[in-house]
């Protein structure tokens, strides 16, 4: 990708504030990361989950200094930026309003275009960052998005071209990890703590269900699995759990999730036989057991498996900047001007399938 291709002269400054990560990154037009900063908010642990109002206030306090420091890291002045981008949805509306409002204000002050980025699309396109995946990540590919708020299989056919093949009908995978971790008395965020405990356990020690495994389609359900874990814990009441039992239960739960996801991905491949690659993204993509299981599934189909490095699995601004660059590239490919989303409002819900309308609307306007 080059400046001439995108139609915008200069790098992108991107902001991420959709949940509890406050992040800023500056990417060159070819996708090279010139600087990035990320602050994981620490004001939520006592509540056992993200408190939207606390997150929004933290974004408001942190963003000005974070953006200033990121520009300093890149040895750039604000005027050197080509355009501004920000996660505009889906996510916690308070954080989205803060991040989008800050980005729009900066764009207005600098007289630069603003590009609204769909947070899920940013995850979907992360694997296409130059040099991230050996051999690249050409379209079409199958995406498994697994995080605290999302669990879905998506056919990624091009920039702005997505088909949701299946998704969770109750808890997201990351949400299930956090809730089971809380049952086990582990600290928040629960996913990493549960994985650490599971290393000392036997994944075959305790029988747990595999919800929806073998059924048609590739929807997910983790609520029944979570209930099964609570039933295993019931005999202990309020007494402390024996460490060996807790470790075995954590390992058995983690294996059950991996087995369910693997089965659903096999089903998704049947629904998308044209897929050339399996990509896993989102915070739960950092789980090593799940990664290994997905690699096995991809290999059984003769396909490659790719997942971003751990620092790009969770919410970050690099993926936001890259999605904005890909959007500009696609607009240029269609003979359209670079987008300017200065009137786009933050959205707590923004279905990925709606991204197909973006270029169709602009083409009709032309």
Binding residues: 119, 123, 145-149, 178, 191, 195, 287, 315
User: Is 264:212 a contact under the CB 8 Å cutoff?
Assistant: yes
Q: Give the separation between CA 158 and CA 136, rounded to whole angstroms.
A: 14
Encoding tokens for residue 201?
Answer: 């356990």
Backbone angles phi, psi at 296, to 5 degrees: -65, -45
Q: Give the separation between CA 43 and CA 20, rounded to whole angstroms.
A: 9
Q: Which residues are annotated as a binding site for Fe cation?
A: 119, 123, 315
Backbone angles phi, psi at 47, to 5 degrees: -100, -5
Do the bridges between strand 161-167 and strand 151-158 make them parallel or antiparallel, or are there none, so unpaired?
antiparallel
Neighbours of 38 (CB within 10 A): 18
Could you say which DSSP state residue 149 is in? S
Helix, strand and coil in the chain, % to nearest 5:
50, 15, 35
Residues in the chain: 366
Q: Give the separation between CA 128 and CA 48, rounded to whole angstroms.
A: 34
Both ends of the chain: CA-CA distance in Å?
A: 24
Q: Give the separation between CA 266 and CA 271, rounded to whole angstroms.
A: 9
Q: Which residues are annotated as a binding site for substrate?
A: 145-149, 178, 191, 195, 287
């Amino acid at each position: 990708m080059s400046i001439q291709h995108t139609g915008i002269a200069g790098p992108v400054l991107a902001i991420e504030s959709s949940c509890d990560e406050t992040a800023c990154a500056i990417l060159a037009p070819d996708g090279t990361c010139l600087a990035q900063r990320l602050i994981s908010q620490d004001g939520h642990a006592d509540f056992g989950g993200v408190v939207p109002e606390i997150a929004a206030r933290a974004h408001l306090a942190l963003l000005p200094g974070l953006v200033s420091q990121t520009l300093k890291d890149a040895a750039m002045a604000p005027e050197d930026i080509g355009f501004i981008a920000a996660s505009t949805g889906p996510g916690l509306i308070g954080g989205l309003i803060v991040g989008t409002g800050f980005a729009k204000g900066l764009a207005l002050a600098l007289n630069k275009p603003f590009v609204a980025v769909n947070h899920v699309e940013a995850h979907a396109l992360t694997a296409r960052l130059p040099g991230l995946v050996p051999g690249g990540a050409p379209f079409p590919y199958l995406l498994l998005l697994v995080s605290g708020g999302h669990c879905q299989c998506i056919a990624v056919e091009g920039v702005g071209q997505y088909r949701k093949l299946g998704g969770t009908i109750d808890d997201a995978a990351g949400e299930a990890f956090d809730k089971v971790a809380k049952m086990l008395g582990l600290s928040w965020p629960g996913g990493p703590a549960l994985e650490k405990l599971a290393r000392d356990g036997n994944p075959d020690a305790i029988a747990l269900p595999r919800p929806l495994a073998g059924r048609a389609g590739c929807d997910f359900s983790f609520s029944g699995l979570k209930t099964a874990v609570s039933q295993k814990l019931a005999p202990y009441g309020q007494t402390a759990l024996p460490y060996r039992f807790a470790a075995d239960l954590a390992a058995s739960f983690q294996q059950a999730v991996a087995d369910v996801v693997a089965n659903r991905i096999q089903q998704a491949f049947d629904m998308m036989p044209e897929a050339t690659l399996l990509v896993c993204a989102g915070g739960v993509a950092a789980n090593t057991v799940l990664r290994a299981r997905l690699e096995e599934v991809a290999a059984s189909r003769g396909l490659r498996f790719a997942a971003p490095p751990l620092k790009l699995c969770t919410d970050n601004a690099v993926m936001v900047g890259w999605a904005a660059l890909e959007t500009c590239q696609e607009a240029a490919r269609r003979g359209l001007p670079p987008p300017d989303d200065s009137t786009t409002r933050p959205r707590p819900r923004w279905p990925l399938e709606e991204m197909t309308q973006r270029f169709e609307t602009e083409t009709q306007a032309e």
